[in-house]
Every structure is written in C-alpha cells, then in structure tokens.
Amino acid sequence: MRPATAFRAAVLRSYAGPFTIEEVRWSGEPADGEVLVEIAGCGMCRTDLAVRASAGRSPLPAVLGHEGAGVVVATGGPGTGLRTGDHVVLSFDSCGKCRSCLAAAPAYCDSFAALNLFGGRPGDAARFTDAAGGALAPRWFGQSSFAEYALVRARNAVRVDPDLPVELLGPLGCGFLTGAGTVLHTFGAGPGDTVLVIGAGAVGLAAVLAATAAGAQPIAVDRHPERLATARRLHAVALPAAAPDLADQVRRLTGGGAAYALDTTGDARLINEALRCLRPTGHLGLVARLHTALPLAPGTLDKGRRISHVCEGDAVPGLLIPRLAALWRAGLFPFEQLIRTYPLTAVNEAERDCAAGRVVKPVLLPRGVAR
C-alpha cells in the first residue's frame, strides 16, 4: 500500500504565535535508508519551546517534536534494518561519519546543531509542504514528530518490543534519555553513591528515577514545592533551592558530599552550590545550555572535583533506549508517572501547562486517545 501523502501536523509559523493544526504534504516515498513512522505519541521537550527564543536560527514554518514513537509503515530500500510493523522510538540525528560518531558519541556529532536544531540536511529542504504548497523547514531533530507521521533515517529509529506502551515511549528518545543517561552512563552511579539533581523537571526527575534504579540515593533540589513533592514520591530526598545552607545539608546527609551532581538549570548560583555539595573527586554534569558566563567561586573545583557538559546523556540511543525500556519492564524506571497525555490538537494547551510547570512531560497523541 502506498503510504499517506497528506497528514495532520502541528505547525509553528511564527516565533511568538501558537501552533496550528494543518495538513502537511510530501511525495509519499521514503528515500533509501529512510522509514515512515505512524506516530503514536510524541513528548514535548524544553528544546521544542526554545525555538521561540532562537532569534531566527531555527527556521520556520516548521513541524517541531523530537520525542516521537510509533510504528513503521513504510521502508525505503532494503538496508534500513527495520520492517513494516516494527515499533520504534525516534531519537536525535547524527551524521554517522565524523570522529565523534565513529567513537560512539553521536550526541557530540560535528553536525549535531545543524542536523537537529538549525535547518536539517540540505537535501531535505522542500520535501514537506503545507496545503498551499509552501515549503516547511527540514526535519526538526531528523524527525518532526508533532504529526501523524514522521519520516526519519533508520539511523535514528530504535526498535523496541511491541508489547511496550509505544505511545508513551517517545521521551526515552531525548528528555528521559538525557537524565537517565547522565546518571547511568556518564556517572555510572551505583549503590552507595548519592546523585544530587538540581532542577526537578522532566530531565531531573528521569535522573532521580535512574539513580534509584541504579541503587544510588537521589537528592532533588527545586524552587517549586509540587516538583519537590513529586521527587519525594520517587524516593528522592527533596530540598528547596532557596535553602541558604544547601551544601551543608547535603554534606550532612551524605557524610561528606555527593559523588555526582546533575544541573538542569544553567543557573550560576546553583551550579556553584552543586560543586560545594560534591565530595572530593565528585563530578558535576551540566545538561542545560549556559546563556551567561559561569563564574566559579574559589575552591569549588579543588580536590579533584570536575565539571563537564553532558549532551543527550552521552547516550548511544540504540543501546540506552532498550536498556531504559527493560528497566521500565522490571518496574525500576516508572517514567509513565511523569507523563500526561494530550491529543495533538491540544498542543498549545500542552505548551502552556509545560511552561507553567503544571505537567512534567506532556505527550501528544496524534490519534487523540491512548491505545
């Protein structure tokens, strides 16, 4: 059967305007190495919303959404390694050829920003149009999944077991991957370790879940009491960000400091606090992009402490996504507790709820209802 050539998608036309649900058209044939995926659900990530503040660098009009998951309905050529009917989680795009990609570090791909954030692959321009024939921006994060269908390279589609709730799995491709990957992969946290999490949003709470799954003790810090309550429910010790003696409290709780800390805020004061909370040789991972200079107080990096930026949890999606799905199946990574679903048509409501902190992780369902 020939794949659909027209489908509904949430289109963002201006940096300050709402999403509009529109018909999107394309040629209807996946190119060699591509697969067409019927999207069951797509998470909304802070990076989608950051497009609004991209000062024109992320081109519009565009179909955003980069935490898609669904079912393969068409494959381009024999070399995709995927078949019609396969359930897949979509992740970020990478070139596969640069030194970082060859070293199994695709999040540090030389072309990461170009492929995912700022315009995609040149050959993909004008493959998708709106109903009037106007061109849409090339695929966002190689996928553009706020839509009924997404066309992706097989390289960024990860097959998962078909008995998993595919409509909820999309955030395993970015937000949850980032938090959990930093804890499990970058830090390698384990029993006896404490993982301090600064900022208990989707990424931070996924880090809390992963720390607990690894047998480590999470400590969550946030401004919002309701987020601290969620963190507490997920077995974290919860501390308000404004506490004047945060580092003293953490050192007391941990008998000398946390082994690891993860910052999702990019806030210079909290980053300095996080370093003060670390034990000697402790590691602070920054997962947020810094928008200002970062002054570090004297002594914060003494005794072997280190600080690094972590993109996408240092993950190889094809390895970490199945690992997270297996942890979920074992009851050790209950990420569904962080999700609220919305029909795709409620994309603007989902954005408002996300921005206001009323929901940790919105997931948009193009079919309107959970399967």
Give the number of residues written for the chain: 371
Closest distance to Zn ion from the beta carbon of 224 (Å): 20
Cβ of residue 196: shortest distance to Zn ion, in angstroms?
A: 22
Give the distance from CA 66 to its chain's centroid: 8
Q: Which is nearer to Zn ion, 207 or 278 (CB)?
A: 207
Interface residue list for Zn ion (CB under 5 A): 45, 47, 94-95, 98, 101, 109, 174
Q: Residue 34 CB, nearest distance to Zn ion (Å)? A: 18
Q: How far is the CB of 95 from Zn ion (least distance, A)?
A: 3
Select 58 or 254, whichever has its Cβ closest to Zn ion.
Answer: 58
Residues 196, 205: Cα–Cα separation, whole Å: 11
Q: H helices within the chain, ranges in order?
A: 46-50, 99-102, 112-116, 175-181, 202-213, 225-233, 246-254, 268-277, 317-329, 347-355
Q: Which is nearer to Zn ion, 75 or 116 (CB)?
A: 116
Name the minimum Å distance from CB 109 to Zn ion: 3
| CA–CA separation, 154 and 165 (whole Å) | 21
Between 109 and 350, CB nearer to Zn ion: 109
Q: Which H or E run includes 68?
A: strand 67-75
> Whose Cβ is closer to Zn ion: residue 47's or residue 145's?
47
- In the complex, least distance from residue 101 CB atom to Zn ion, rounded to whole angstroms: 3
Nearest distance, CB of residue 14 and Zn ion, angstroms: 21
Closer to Zn ion at the Cβ: 216 or 286?
286
Pick between residue 37 and residue 247 the one whose CB is nearest to Zn ion: 37
DSSP string across 228-285: HHHHHHTT-EEEETT-TTHHHHHHHHHTS-EEEEEESS--HHHHHHHHHHEEEEEEEE
- Rounded CA separation 365/371 (Å): 10
Question: What is the Cα–Cα distance from 231 to 239, expressed in whole angstroms?
Answer: 10
Q: At what angle do helices 268-277 and 246-254 cross, to 10 degrees?
A: 30
Compute the least distance from the CB of residue 150 to Zn ion, in Å: 15
Task: Count Cβ atoms below 10 Å from residue 371 Cβ, excluding itself.
Answer: 10
Q: How far is the CB of 246 from Zn ion (least distance, A)?
A: 28
Residue number with CB closer to Zn ion (47 or 341): 47
Q: Residue 139: which residues within 8 A CB-CB, separation 6 or more?
A: 63, 93, 120, 121, 124, 128, 150, 151, 152
Nearest 10 degrees: CA dihedral of 279, 227, 358, 165? 80
Residues sharing a CB contact under 8 Å with residue 101, sequence separation 6 or more, in sequence order: 94, 95, 109
Q: Which is nearer to Zn ion, 74 or 169 (CB)?
A: 169
Judge contact between 129 and 135, C-beta under 8 A. Answer: yes
Question: From the CB of residue 294, how many other CB atoms can be counted at a distance below 10 Å?
Answer: 12
Q: In the complex with Zn ion, which residue's Cβ is closer, 93 or 273?
A: 93
Half-sphere exposure of 283 (CA within 13 A, CB side): 13
Q: Please give the Cα distance from 85 to 74 (Å, whole number).
A: 9
CB of 97 to Zn ion, least distance (A): 6
